[in-house]
Amino acid sequence: MYIVIGGDGKEYGPKASVEVRDWIAEGRLNAQSQIKEQSDDEWKGLGSLQEFAADFAGSNPAIPQTGVTPPPPGVTPPPQIQHFPVAGNPAAAQAMVNGPATFMMVLGILNIVSAIIGLVMNLAFGGLGIAAADSGAPEEGMGLIFQAVGGIVGNIVAIIVSIVIIMGSVKMKNLQSYGLSMTAAILCIVCCVCCIGIAPGIWSIVVLSKPEVKAAFR
């Protein structure tokens, strides 16, 4: 009587020689399967035993066991699917980012020009407010001053945001700093005047979201 280790790594037995041969015929055991006599402590390869050597004559040795039950005879295991990382192609990626990056850069420059013009106008309103307050119209003067201060703060913020957009678009054209490029695209949607930045911002996000473009950034 024998004890055998199956393809699942578990011990089975005791089994008679006839049962062991049945398992060999069914593909549940192979020449590398471990076996020992019930009264013995030494494990041996099944193919090394003279009693079962004829059962493996003329056949290819089965794949050594790895703790996984082999598929039943006649059943083809499913193919292994290999996943490879997306390789970045800098030339192709640069061709895709050039358009939206240039569009964002132009809008950033226009936004700065618009903010500077607004800043000058708000400074002038502030001066008018001070003059009105000094000339005996304090309420009108303070209204102009508050309006000017709010406009100046808005203009400064617009200039800072536009600088970030320009910097991000330059990095995007050079396939550098993916995070800054994506930030610039989002700011272009949110902060550019008259909603003009929505189109280039969305265009940039779509392009930047492509795996081959993202992989090309350094």
pLDDT interval class at 62 (50, 70, 90): very low
The pair of structure tokens assigned to 205 is 């996000």
* Residue, of 138 and 159, whose pLDDT is higher: 159
pLDDT in tens, 120-136: 999 998 888 888 888 87
Residue showing tokens 């929505």: 198
Residue showing tokens 């991000």: 168
The pair of structure tokens assigned to 68 is 């996984």
Instruction: For Cα atoms 78, 82, 84, give the angle at the middle one, nearest 5 degrees.
Output: 165
Segment 14-31 mean pLDDT: 82
% residues pLDDT > 90 (the chain): 31
Question: Would you say 97 and 207 are in contact if contact means Cβ atoms under 8 Å apart?
Answer: yes
Distance CA 36, CA 71 (A): 24
Instruction: Please give the sequence-ordered ranges of beta strands (E in DSSP) within the chain, or none if there are none.
Output: 2-5, 11-15, 34-37, 44-45
Looking at the DSSP bridge assignments, the partners of residue 31 are none
Residue showing tokens 């494990």: 43
Segment 16-36 mean pLDDT: 82
What pTM value is reported for the model?
0.54
* pLDDT value of position 103: 92
90 CB-side CA count, 13 A:
6
The pair of structure tokens assigned to 176 is 């550098």
Distance CA 71, CA 215 (A): 39
Strands 11-15 and 34-37 turn out to be: unpaired
- pLDDT of 74 > 70? The answer is no
Segment 133-148 mean pLDDT: 83
pLDDT interval class at 76 (50, 70, 90): low
pLDDT interval class at 194 (50, 70, 90): low
Distance CA 46, CA 26 (A): 15
Question: Would you say 4 and 23 are in contact if contact means Cβ atoms under 8 Å apart?
Answer: yes
Question: Would you say 178 and 218 are in contact if contact means Cβ atoms under 8 Å apart?
Answer: no
- pLDDT of 113 > 90? The answer is yes
